[in-house]
Amino acid sequence: MKVLVGTCVWSLAFRRKETTRDPFEMELRELIKELRVQMIGPIRQELLSGIKYYAQFESMRDTLRAFDDLKLTHLHYERAAEFYNASRSKGIQGSNTDFLICAVSALHSFPILTTDGDFTLFQQHLPIQLHSPRFRP
- On average, the pLDDT of the chain sits at 95
pLDDT band for position 15 (cuts 50, 70, 90): confident
For residues 14 and 47, which has the higher predicted lDDT (pLDDT)? Answer: 47
Taking only the tens place, the pLDDT of each residue in 30-75 is 999 999 999 999 999 999 998 999 999 999 999 999 999 999 999 9
CA dihedral of 45, 51, 54, 58, whole degrees rounded to 10: -40
3-state secondary structure of 38: strand
Contacts of 8 (CB under 8 A, 6+ apart): 114, 115, 116
- Looking at residue 137, its pLDDT comes to 66
- Section 101-108 average pLDDT: 98
Share of residues in the chain with pLDDT > 90 (%): 89
- Looking at residue 136, its pLDDT comes to 77
Task: Please name which of 33, 45, 24 lies closest in space to residue 100, comparing C-alpha atoms.
Answer: 45
Where residue 45 falls (left for φ over 0; alpha for ψ -120 to 50; beta otherwise) is alpha
Share of residues in the chain with pLDDT > 70 (%): 96
- Looking at residue 47, its pLDDT comes to 96
**Do 119 and 5 contact (CB within 8 A), yes or no?**
no
Assigned CATH class of 3-123 = alpha beta
Q: Is residue 108 within a helix (H) or strand (E), and if so which, with residue range?
A: helix 96-108
Domain residue limits, the chain: 3-123
